[in-house]
Structure 1
Amino acid sequence: MFNSKPSYFTASPTLSLTRAPLALAIAVALSTPAFAQTEALDKSDPDKDMEIMVVTADFRGASLEKMPSSITVIDAQKIQDESAQHFEDLLNSIANVNWSGGSSRPKYFQIRGVGEQEQYQGAPNSSVGYIIDDIDLSGIGMVSSMYDLQQVEVLRGPQGTRYGANALAGLIYLKSNDPTDVFEHGAEVSLGDDDLRTFSGFSSGPVTDSGKLLYRVSLQQHQQNGYRDNLFLGRDDTNNRDEFSGRVKLRWYATDDLQLDLTVLHADFDNGYDVWSLTNSPKQTTSDEPGVDSQRTTGAGFKVTYSGAELFELTSLTSFANTDHHYSYDGDWSNSAYWAAKQCTDDGIQFSSCQYDYFWDKTGQRKTLSQEFRLSSTEQGRIFAESTDWLLGVYAMNLQEDNQLYSEYNTFADEVLDSEYEATNYALFGQLDTDLGSQYALSVGLRLEQRNSHYSDTNQDDFDPSETMWGGHIALSKMLNDSHNAYLRVARGYKAGGFNMTLPVELNDKKEFDTETLYNYEIGLKSHWLAGLVDTNLALFYMDRQDQQVAASLQDPNKPQRFILFTENAGSSNNYGAELDATWYATDNLQLYSSLGWLETAYGNYQYQDKYGTDVDLTGRDLAHSPHFTYSLGGTYRANSGWFTNLNLSGKSDFYYSDSNDSRSEPYTIVNARVGYEASTWSAYLWGRNLFDEEYGVRGFYFGNEPDSGWAEKQYIRYGDPRQLGVTVNVKFM
């Protein structure tokens, strides 16, 4: 069986096993006779439990195979098998999902080509929702430790019925493990190069003898230097990661009909930000004022479930989050000594040395408070001859964010801006799920949402936009037989319009931009093959974006260190493509899995003027951060003796970095591995990420940042994490 596979792994020169001893050891382990002679898993055996993935982001917690939508669920076992410490470690393995590397950890995501690349000013307005245990962190999702998680869910396409304006492109939902009614405890330590130190632990069990009050506590402290050597300062920690994550969950079975769940989350990510180099070095910088990228978030979610009524169940969701964030960077990407040794030209006059020193700094405070009430039918409450489940809900959210922006150019204050922003959303939503007979099912959902917002700043900008939006879905599914479920889905999503602050007079016509709407047409097939040995989820989609919002930027020709940032609407555009997730339970001991994403994107009718006033036409060009292909392939082998091996690879084709220029990435493939031994109460692993030390870009710019060249435009690249090796030991006990 697997003995026929080594040719796949050695076909590409980039995967040559001679380049990494760890990869060679893994390949030898995978090619042993014992690996090939394990017995096949008979998933059709009724005595064997089939794994059922439940999508917890859905209203009713439906199984993945019955959800009429393109969804990827990554469970706790895969998170552990791939040694994922942060959501960043999983991102490359999710089909048609990308991220922008303009921060120390990913917090700007793109699903099917739709999403933000950065946010340098206030007034947050996300295309991709990001929620941790029902706490909305859209736009600030960098605090996403993978420790003690039950699963990660990625819902592609508009989630207009369930999540509204923050989920135009889709939703990323992180679900942590719930409290248990028996005592469970565990601890984990990871050590590695780049001075990696990660200490984690959890405890779960009953608080009272009656078992009606349960708790779970999980903590993690992660530290590493950040893979950059600052040659000017002589330090290797200017890009450091210092990340604490803590979570407390309580579950109280107050009565037989009333369940209360409280989640308290605290994350303190105090990271450096020193990743850019004038020479595009992936591991060395020369900044004299390294930046920071810190976020401190305290959030709480309170869920009440009442099931005492005969015809319906009542659910109340209350969430709160308070975040302080700080983002800064050395804008000249070097130091005064470097520039003093350069000759600069200004207005035709040549100077013997350059004076160039630029630093950008923003702090912000964000608070969100949301409340949702929903009624959902019980089995006795179904309508239309007991064929239809119904759901009705109301939702309100208030978001407040204050920002303080300060930038300094050649020791003088260049830009000072204090701003206040507030948005309040009210929504009414409902959903009907009908059994039509003959194995057909119909789901119809609708959401009406009112958004009121206010913005003001010290530059006398003042906006009070409000709008009413709507979205929803219609999905028809058909169980073709016990092994295949086909569906057709049409969904409408929306993203609120807004405004551009601090624009120069000549751009006054761009002060405001309109709401974007997205129609998503999708057909899919969810299947079990070979008596359940192979599971596949296939989706084909076509997206019609109307009044597409485009993030543009112009370098100020009079002040080259400054950029003018604004959002505007392009004409309608179309994206289309496919996603495939597949899992093969090859034997009792061996599981193989893969994903493949295909994506075609294009701008609608869109032209802009560059800093010299030249017209640039992007009509029909690929969208930024939208690779045509994303792919992953992995395998996990667990021997009966306790030995464990995981090998996985993931990659992307090339893509444009920006909406405002034609700078592109290079295609890349990253290989990771993990080997170890697993006993009943302890385990130990040796692991490696990016084994072949692939240099891959995760963010890029094309502009002038070197006065000695007359501010000539050039491509600058921020690279992803290089190779890292480490060990992990964990223990669990009752």
Structure 2
Amino acid sequence: MFTLKSFCSDSTFLKRLSPVALAVSTALISQHALASEPTEAPADEMEVIVVSSDFRGSTLDKMPSSITVINQQQIEDEGAQHFEDVLNSIANFNWSGGSSRPKYFQIRGVGEQEEYQGAPNSSVGYIIDDIDMSGLGMISSMYDLQQVEVLRGPQGTRYGANALAGLIYLKSNDPTDVFEHGAEVSVGDDNLTTFSGFSSGPLTDSGKLLYRVSLQQHQQNGYQDNLYLGRDDTNARDEFSGRAKLRWYASDDLQIDLTLLHADYDNGYDVWTLDNNGENTQTDAPGVDKQRTTGSSLKFTYSGAEQFELVSLTSYANSQTHYNYDGDWANPDHWGGLDCDGEACEYDYTWGKKGERNTISQEFRLSSTQAGRIFSDSTDWLLGVYGMRLTEDNDTVEDYNGWLDTLNAEYEANNTAVFGQLDSDLGAGYALSFGLRVERRDSDYSDSAGDKFSPGETMWGGHIALSKALSDSHEAYARIARGYKAGGFNMTLPEELSDKKEYDTETLYNYEIGLKSRWLDGDASTNISLFYMDRRDQQVAASQQNPEEPQKFILFTENAGSSHNYGAELEGDWYATSNLKLYASLGWLETAYGDYSYQDKYGGTVDLTGRDLAHSPNLTYSAGATYRTDSGWFTNLTTSGKSEFYYSDSNESKSQAYTIFNARVGYETDVWSAYLWGRNLFDEDYGTRGFYFGNEPDQGWADKQYIRFGDPRQLGLTVNVKFL
């Protein structure tokens, strides 16, 4: 068990502490030289939050939709290093822990739980600085991030087919016109070390060319001890994130923004055990979860025309992934010592996939200026076109007792879309927003097993929203949105499932009302929304274990009947005093399958009609408090939790409800800060992914629940330096 005494007495601690001591001493010695003027203290009044993922960058309180924004101050107060550290504070949001870092998300009960094969087809969009990383969400460092935005419900007008359930948008800090720099070091148990730094400022004396660079290297052992191999790093995280931004004011009318992103996550994946102990694995071939992504976005903003502004947005990303695991979760010595029908068991199984994805997109949009408004100067307009090309090659290998089964697949999709939006001031405090998007997708798939598909379809979505300013402090809205998710195909299916080769497009209608309010002269705010979702031709991911070859699974997606989700979100902030901020969120969610049943591995029928959807807890909740004294002392306390939920669409396995607590205390000056922190302080065991199947031949392959647990308690120290 980790204690402060053992941490400080550990010889490795002194080695890890030396960079921290150097940073602190440098900051103290150089405080007056480096800080020509002090940095501003955190604002005591409610800030105006701009939603970057919106076409026009509207303020949060004027957006007629349920949106969570986690700003930079909250990210820093909570000491979040990765998106995984903040996602539990988002109402009606969940994730599926089948990877080393979260990459499969569910918003209001809608989203993927895994992707072992097939073509990428995400329900939840994931964008980093305008670079589309949907389905590849693990590269999400929180360092030098301006804010996290989570948009709930279909985003058909803005983002189309990849945002049926909603959108996650990460916005990093932009270049500044004055020099600012910073560095941060974190150390902790589990052999954690994180080194981060940023630099920003002008590159020319004229101030027309600005830059910002941020880097982070994160390492830790991954909380697992592999007893068979005698190692404590088979589940390690080794993660590099780098970002560079350039902003060029080319003329008074033209602004050019270039973003470069590189992330290299070289992680292990060794979390599953036969006895569900959550700590000690026994695998002889521990897995990996690697992703190397290089991406860029280039944005031109031209404002020289009197009646419109022109935006051109180009993005590109190349991602190379490698994911594999030891599927028997043990080793030859373990199985050889057990009895299988009077003989020593022979069971050795691994599965792996290597992939490469390339995505390039181009968007042009025209939006009205104040002089270009129409309908008696009451209505802003926007028109746009979009094109995207995605290619992905995947090579999968299954090895069962030395017998290899390989599949090489190639996929290409081309999307084109036109979209538009009108935003009208109707007078008397009323405003109307109407948006429409029409999208065409054509794709081609082929693999070494002989499967070939070339589906093509035209889809449409959009929204209509009416808002009313009830007073200066209260804004009500009603919104109807239509989202869509492209149909697809299933490969390598046996003959008896040939009727499931293809499945149809899913559409989702979201009906929502909400109220956004400010209280106590702006010191407090609340956002509440009520929603009802009508899913038609719902896509359901199913799996069947082959009783003749238990190590093999048949994976496919099919359409269920219509289903309905409904619930509410409530979020609030309160600056109780100039030193104390309180914040909280609450999500309530009710989900149910429509008319849906499936065949189990023995040929029996399982009827899920009316059952809750997988990864859809009825309650999600969080609360936090940040207190700063005038003398520089700092404390942040947070708690978050979920009610129980089903792990899968294909069985009745469920999680346990849980609540976890985090804390951070420290001392802050204008130049340096130091914090002691702890996550999951009471070392709560909580499941993030579960399976229910047979994986033990000595038990006759009897079905059993297996659970992957979230991170246990961790304690650490962070020191940062910021200066002008």
Short-chain TM bin: over 0.9
1:120 corresponds in structure 2 to 116
User: What corresponds to 1:207 in structure 2?
Assistant: 203
Superposed displacement of residue 20, structure 1: 10
Instruction: Report the equivalent of 1:584.
Output: 574
Secondary structure of residue in 1 paired with 2:370? coil
In structure 1, C-alpha distance between the alignment counterparts of 2:564 and 2:144, rounded to whole Å: 39
1:425-454 C-alpha deviation (Å, 9 max, x unpaired): 000000000000000000000000000000
2:228 counterpart residue number? 232
> Residue 378 of structure 1 aligns with which residue?
369
The structure 2 residue matched to 1:548, chosen from 538, 545, 550, is: 538
> Residue 140 of structure 1: CA displacement?
0.2
- Corresponding position: 1:53 with 2:43: no
1:281-311 CA deviation, whole Å, 9 max, x = no partner?
A: 1111000000000000000000000000000
8 Å CA contact retained: 2:538, 2:563: yes
What SS class does the counterpart of residue 380 from structure 1 fall into? helix
The equivalent of 2:284 in structure 1 is 288
Correspondence 1:670 to 2:666: no
Q: Which residue of 1 aligns with 2:303?
A: 307
Query: Could you tell me which amino acid in structure 1 is paired with residue 369 of structure 2?
Result: T
CA distance, structure 1, for counterparts of residue 636 and residue 3 of structure 2: 15
Letter in 2 for 1:471: G
CA drift of 1:412 comes to 1.6
* Cα contact 1:20–1:692 (8 A) shared by 2: no
CA deviation after TM superposition for structure 1 residue 733, in Å: 1.0
1:402 aligns with 2:393: yes
1:76 and 2:76 aligned: no
Q: How far off its partner does 1:574 sit?
A: 0.3
Give the counterpart of 1:633 among 611, 623, 627: 623
Q: CA deviation at 1:352?
A: 2.7
Which of 494, 502, 505 aligns to 1:515? It is 505
- Alignment-derived partner of residue 387 in structure 1: 378
RMSD over equivalenced CA pairs, Å: 1.1
Question: The residue matched to 2:674 in structure 1 has which SS?
Answer: strand
Partners of 2:221 and 2:232 lie apart in 1 by: 6
**Aligned counterpart in structure 2 of residue 505 of structure 1, from 482, 491, 495:** 495
Aligned equivalent of 1:106 = 102
Aligned counterpart in structure 1 of residue 678 of structure 2, from 662, 676, 688: 688
What code does the residue aligned with 2:224 have?
Answer: R
CA contact (8 A) 1:20 1:691 kept: no
What does residue 353 of structure 1 align with? Answer: 344
Q: CA deviation at 1:48?
A: 7.8
Alignment correspondent of 2:449: 459
Unaligned runs of 5+ in 2: 6-42
- Structure-2 separation of matches of 1:283 and 1:426: 48
Q: How many Å separate the matches in 2 of 1:283 and 1:437? A: 62
Q: Secondary structure at the match of 1:78?
A: helix
Q: Secondary structure at the match of 1:506?
A: helix
Deviations 1:474-503 (A, max 9, x none): 000000000000000000000000000000
Partner Cα separation in structure 2 for residue 619 and residue 282 of structure 1: 33
**1:21: how far off?**
9.9
Match of 1:571 in 2: 561
Distance 1:518 1:197 in 2: 44
> After the TM superposition, which residues 415-426 of structure 1 pair with which residues of structure 2 at under 5 Å, given as runs?
415-426=405-416
Q: In structure 2, give the amino acid aligned to 1:323.
A: S
How far apart in 2 are the matches of 1:235 and 1:292? Answer: 15
In the TM superposition, what whole-angstrom CA distance separates every residue of 1:650-709 from its partner, at most 9, and x where no partner exists?
000000000000000000001000000000000000000000000000000000000000
Q: Quote the residue 1:529 is aligned against.
A: 519
Q: Any idea what the Cα deviations from partners look like across 1:54-97, whole Å, max 9, x if unmatched?
A: 00000000000000000000000100111110000001110000
1:338-387 C-alpha deviation (Å, 9 max, x unpaired): 0001001xxxxx23310000000100000000000000000000000000
Specify the SS of the correspondent of 2:371: coil
Where does residue 31 of structure 1 map in the other structure?
none
Q: TM-score, normalised by structure 1?
A: 0.93
CA–CA distance in 2 between the matches of 1:623 and 1:454? 31
Match of 1:241 among 237, 242, 245: 237
Task: Summarize deviations over 1:542-571 as a string: whole Å, max 9, x none.
Answer: 000000000000001111001000000000
* Shift of residue 49, structure 1, vs aligned partner: 6.0
SS at match of 1:305: strand
Structure 2 contact 44–575 (Cα < 8 Å) conserved: no
- Superposition pairs for residues 315-354 of structure 1, below 5 Å? 315-344=311-340, 350-354=341-345
2:182 aligned partner: 186
Number of residue pairs aligned between Structure 1 and Structure 2 = 686
Match of 2:255 in 1: 259
Distance in 2 (CA, whole Å) between partners of 1:666 and 1:81 is 29
Counterpart for residue 168 of structure 2: 172
User: In structure 1, how many angstroms separate the alpha carbons of the residues matched to 2:536 and 2:698?
Assistant: 43
CA distance in 1 between partners of 2:46 and 2:678 (Å)? 31
**Pairing 1:1-150 to 2, within 5 Å after superposition:** 50-150=46-146
Could you list the runs of 5+ residues in structure 1 that have no partner in the other structure?
A: 1-18, 23-46, 345-349
Rounded Cα–Cα distance in structure 1 between residues aligned with 2:177 and 2:661:
39
For 1:671 and 1:91, the matched residues in 2 are separated by: 14
Provide the C-alpha distance between the structure 2 equivalents of 1:678 and 1:99, rounded to a whole number of angstroms.
34
3-state SS, counterpart of residue 586 of structure 2: strand
- The CA distance in 1 between the partners of 2:627 and 2:187, in whole Å, is 23
Give 1:178 deviation, angstroms.
Answer: 0.1
In structure 1, give the amino acid aligned to 2:362: Q
Residue 378 of structure 1 aligns with an amino acid whose one-letter code is: T
Q: Shift in Å at residue 122 of structure 1?
A: 3.1
Alpha-carbon shift at residue 529 of structure 1 (Å): 1.2
Cα pair 2:258 2:299 within 8 Å, conserved: yes
**Cα distance in structure 2, aligned partners of 1:180 and 1:666:** 46
Q: Is the 8 A contact 2:462 2:481 kept in 1?
A: yes
The answer to whether the 8 Å contact 2:46/2:523 transfers is no
**What do residues 322-350 of structure 1 show as CA deviations (whole Å, max 9, x unaligned)?**
00000000000000000001001xxxxx2
Shift of 1:533: 2.0
Q: In 1, distance between residues paired with 2:267 and 2:187?
A: 19
Give aligned-pair identity as a percent.
75
Q: Deviations over 1:516-552 (max 9, x none)?
A: 0000000000001122221000000000000000000
1:368 maps to a residue whose letter is T
CA distance in 2, matches of 1:558, 1:457: 25
CA distance change for structure 1 residues 582 and 683 in 2, over 3 Å: closer, same or farther? same
- 2:695 pairs with 1:699: no
Whole-angstrom CA distance in 1 between matches of 2:281 and 2:605: 35
Could you tell me which amino acid in structure 2 is paired with residue 52 of structure 1? V
Q: TM-score, normalising length from structure 2?
A: 0.94
The letter of the residue matching 2:590 is E
Contact kept in structure 2, 1:147 and 1:220, CA below 8 Å = yes
1:448 corresponds, among 434, 438, 457, to: 438
Query: Per-residue deviation at 1:50?
Result: 4.1
2-side partners of 1:303 and 1:124: how far apart? 26
Q: In 2, Cα distance between the equivalents of 1:48 and 1:202?
A: 26
